[in-house]
Amino acid sequence: MVDHVKKLDEGLTLEKLLKLMGAIDAQPDWRSPASIACAYYDGDQLSDSIRQVLQERGQPEIVHNMIGPTIDGVLGMEARTRADLMVSADDDAGEELAQALNEEFKDAWRLANADRACSDAYAAQLKAGLGWVEVSRNPIPFGAKYRVKFVHRRNIWWDWHSDEIDLSNTRWKIHKKWMDLDEAYSTFPDHKEVLKNSVNDWQDFANIEDLKSEDPSLHAAWHDYESWDRASTEWMDTERERVLLQVVMYTIWKRAHVIKLSDGQVLEYDENNTVHIAAVQSGKVKLEYAAFPKTREAWFVGPHRIIDRFSPTPDAKDPLVGFVGYKKDKSGEPYGLISRMIPAQDGINSRVIRLNYLLQARRIIADDDATNLSERKLKEEVEKPDGYIPLNPERKNKKSISESFSVQNDVGIAAQQFSLMQNDIKLIQDTAGVYNSMLGQDSNATSGVAIANLVEQGTTTLAELNDNFHYSRNKVADLLLAFIIEDMAGRDNVDITVNRKDKAKKKTIRINGTEEGQEAQSSKGKRNNDVARWRGHIALMPIQATPTYRQQQATLLTQAMAKLPETAQAAVVPMLVELMDLPNKEEFLSTIRQAMNIPKAQEDMSEDELAVFKQEQEKAQVLEQMQMQEMKTKLEKIVLENDKLAAQIQEIQSKTETEQVKDDKVIAETEQILTDIQRNQTEITAMKSTLTNNIQSQLDAIQV
């Protein structure tokens, strides 16, 4: 690694680091209560003083841990209702690019185990009030390309003046990590001698007579070691041969030129970029001054600065995302759900200890001369179920045994203690906003609607925690997507297959596409589906993908199908199969559609199926046009016949009126002609109705 700072007094110097460490010492102590809260979750709930008292009494250390199952229930709810993340475009022009990026994002998210890292951060958010997730490229070349890693709160320190819920606007963060010396030597080969001398307290270096012949960088490192006023145990473990690496991420504000593109994208102007220069000279974009933050990182091993550079994340962003539970209004200290439950848990433990002690303890009321046993021996015999306590025959009070010696207990108040313990158990869930139904336990609610309402009510009370979690989770996804886009921006003609599991929707999308025989810089640097011009965001999937959620939806759909007529049930069957976890689901759905003659939706058809469907549509349209032409010809023929018959009637009527001949034959012919005209009129009406219905069906088939 190369230190990009030219001079030792540039960047984050040793003096600035000491000031930051002093600011850390002055911060409120929120870590001790956070550790106590985590200890309560683990069942370590009794103080040393209580343990000592129990040991003196001979009582077992009984802890009725109600916090653990309650927190586990909330964690299980997060896993059960977890929704996948998806890449969404901000405009219609980027939909195809969004599909391709979504495939790459899903693979990177899965390979980096990002869901597990976010779940661990959610657990820390509930327990201690704060968890961290770091997004970076994987330094190990044989593993996944990207790394999404949960970081424990003990390793992160930050500027206390941050007011963002994910702590993204801090001026500085310190990430501490202990490293074995062999790992440090391999990671920082240029500083191997400095590390060796530091572990040896620079004794070999100080014993050299001629210091002028040594490397000047070693002199500077030795000077830093001598000026370091912190204890060496803070950063060096000589027994284990480890050193503490401190990565200080600090924000610097920069004022520079920016250019705004026609699509609204804003870029920092690079005077060495020929495309930027040409765009400004052509007048297509204008230079504007703007102030914006950049993140730098300085790596320290004790007093020795190893490297100081801009953050390797895209656009020099902060690679750490905080998952905060709640924050105190006065001091800004983070705290989790357990902090509210500790008083009730202490009440439960005290009641349990008290109940056990009441069942065990005995009160002895006796005269001094009631027995000849010592005090210790007498207590031992009283505690035994078959104890033997001989009375003193020479005692002064011989009226009755109860007057001289009696054993009592307070079992009568045990019921009161048990009632108080039950109230404390209920208070655990009330303070956390979690109910029995959410934990899968029995409750007073008997109907499904009432149980669902209780679960919904518990989800509502945890809204603040869950909102903070989803906000930070989206930030993690944004960072990972930025890494993907940055790595893909330098590649041309990248083919990505989308919808791999769905043969009907499977297709290949080319991003960063260039014309054949041309490079990315040709044709004025324009590429099709260019990821460098991506405009979009990370969003939650509209449908949850957990098996439990799909099972619930399948149950509701089955109940709804039972109330539908048989013809409608057949149409709903594919929707039900979609909710099932079946191998070869698409083949199974295709078989069902063929057996039940259910047509596929056009968006679900493959290219071959869509071509056949269009051919059949064209054939049906041609056939329908031929039928309509035939009906039109027949209609015209009937109209002509009607006109001819009407002329004949007119002629016959004229002859009748002129000659006044009432011939029966003529009357019969006239009646026959009238009957033919009426029949033709009926046929014309039927054909008109059929033609109108055909036209209306075609209008209905038109998709608006």
Residue 209 has pLDDT above 50, yes or no: no
**Euclidean distance between CA atoms 389 and 404, whole angstroms:** 13
Identify which of 111-120, 389-398, 402-411, 676-685 has the greatest average pLDDT: 111-120
3-state secondary structure of 369: coil
**Would you state the pLDDT for residue 523?**
41
The mean pLDDT value for 444-469 works out to 64
Give the tokens for residue 155: 């390793």
Rounded to 5°, angle at Cα 198 from 193 and 203 = 95
Q: Phi and psi dihedrals of 453, rounded to 5? A: -65, -40
- The answer to whether 173 and 160 are in contact (CB under 8 A) is no
Question: 405-430 pLDDT, tens per residue?
Answer: 887 776 666 677 777 778 778 878 77
pLDDT at 202: 60
Q: How confident is the model at residue 210 (pLDDT cuts 50, 70, 90)?
A: very low
In tens, the pLDDT along 519-544 reads 444 444 567 777 777 777 777 665 55
3-state secondary structure of 138: coil
**Residue indicated by tokens 């911060």:** 27
> Which of 83-87, 205-209, 599-603, 611-615 ranks highest by mean pLDDT?
83-87
- Phi first, then psi: give them for residue 633, nearest 5 degrees: -65, -45
SS3 readout for 558-618: HHHHCCCCHHHHHHHHHHHHHCCCCCCHHHHHHHHHHHHCCCCCHHHCCHHHHHHHHHHHH
Identify whether the C-beta of residue 262 lies closer than 8 Å to the C-beta of residue 237: no
Residue 702 clears pLDDT 50, i.e. is over it: no
The pLDDT tens digits for 290-306 are: 888 888 999 888 777 88
pLDDT band at 265 (very low <50, low <70, confident <90, very high): confident
Tokens describing residue 43: 């069942």
Question: Other CB atoms closer than 10 Å to residue 8's CB: what's the count?
Answer: 15
Say what the pLDDT of residue 428 is. Answer: 81
What's the pLDDT at 703? 40
pLDDT of residue 124: 95
User: Tell me, what's the pLDDT at 457?
Assistant: 52
- Checking if the pLDDT of 146 tops 90, the result is yes
> What band does 213 get if pLDDT is binned at 50, 70 and 90?
very low
Residues 356-392: pLDDT tens digits? Answer: 777 777 777 888 877 888 888 887 777 777 778 888 8
Q: What percent of the chain has pLDDT over 90?
A: 15
Cα 567 from Cα 597, distance rounded (Å): 12
Dihedral over alpha carbons 530, 531, 537, 543 (to 10 degrees): 90
Q: Which residues contact 94 (CB under 8 A, 6 or more apart)?
A: 534, 535, 536
pLDDT at 259 over 50: yes
One-character DSSP codes across 41-78: HHT----HHHHHHHHHHT--------HHHHHHHHHHHH
- Radius of gyration of the chain, Cα coordinates, nearest whole angstrom: 42
pLDDT of residue 243: 84
Tokens of 607: 């290219």
Q: How far is CA 277 from CA 86, 256, 272, 280, 290, in A?
A: 36, 15, 8, 5, 18
Q: Which two tokens stand for residue 656?
A: 């009748």
Give me the chain's average pLDDT, please. 77
- Give the pLDDT score at 518: 47
Q: Give the separation between CA 221 and CA 193, rounded to whole angstroms.
A: 10
The reported pLDDT for the residue numbered 118 is 94
Q: Helix crossing, 114-127 with 31-42: angle to 10°?
A: 100
- What pLDDT score was predicted for residue 116? 94
User: Is the pLDDT reported for residue 147 higher than 80?
Assistant: yes
Neighbours of 132 (CB within 10 A): 24
pLDDT at 660 over 70: no
Is residue 280 over pLDDT 70? yes
- Other beta carbons within 10 angstroms of residue 570's beta carbon come to 17
User: Counting every residue, how long is the chain?
Assistant: 704
**DSSP tag of 660:** -
> 414 or 649, which is more confident?
649
Is residue 328 classed as helix, strand or coil in its secondary structure? coil
| pLDDT given at position 32 | 93
- How far is 557 from 579, CA to CA, in rounded Å? 10
Report residue 113 as tokens: 């185990």
Nearest to 557 by CA among 579, 541, 540: 579
How would DSSP label each residue in 15-35?
Answer: HHHHHHHHHHHTS---HHHHH
For the residues of 396-415, what is the DSSP string, one character each?
Answer: S--S-HHHHEEEE--GGGHH
Q: Please report where in the chains the tokens 């003083």 appear, as a residue.
A: 49
pLDDT at residue 438 tops 60: no
- pLDDT at residue 179 greater than cutoff 60: yes
Instruction: Please indicate whether residue 503 or residue 627 has the higher confidence score (pLDDT).
Output: 627
Backbone phi, psi, residue 320, to 5°:
-105, 135
Instruction: Sketch the domain layout of the chain as residue ranges.
Output: 82-165+321-337+462-545, 171-317, 547-604, 633-701
Q: Which has more confidence, 548 or 362?
A: 362
pLDDT in tens, 57-92: 878 888 888 899 889 888 888 887 788 888 888 777
242-260 and 266-268 beta bridge pairing = antiparallel
Does residue 616 or residue 487 have the better pLDDT? 487
More confident residue, 203 or 484: 484
Torsion of CA 546, 550, 553, 555, to 10 degrees: -130
What pLDDT score was predicted for residue 522? 40
